[in-house]
Chains A and B, each alone.
Chain A
Amino acid sequence: MSTSALQAARLILARDLRLALRKRGQFVQPLAFFAIVTTLFPLSISPDLARLREIASGVLWVAALLASLLALEFLFRDDAHDGTLEQYALSGQSLTWLVFAKTTAHWLLTGVPLALMAPLAGMSLGVPYAALPGIIVPIALGTLVLSLIGAIGAALTLGVRRSGVLLTLLTLPLAVPVLIFGAQATDLAIRGASFAAPLYLLSAMAVLGVTLAPLAASAAVRISLE
Chain B
Amino acid sequence: MTDPMTPLERTMTAISQKEPDRVPLFLLTTMHGAKELGMSIRQYFSKGENVVKGQTILQKKYESDCYYGFFYASAEVEAWGGEVIYIADGPANAGRPIIRSAQDITSIGVPEVASCENLKKITGCLTGLAEKSAGKIPVIGVVMSPFSVPVMQMGFEAYLDLIYSEPELFWELMKKNQQFCADWANTQLEAGANAICYFDPVSSPTCIPPELYRKTGMVVAKETIARIRGPTATHLASGRTLAIIDDIATTGTAIVGASALEDIGDVKRACNKRLTVLGNLNGIEMRRWTPAMAEEKVIETIARAGKGGGFILSDNHGEIPWQVPESVLLAISKAVKKYGTYPLDA
Q: Do A and B bind each other?
A: no
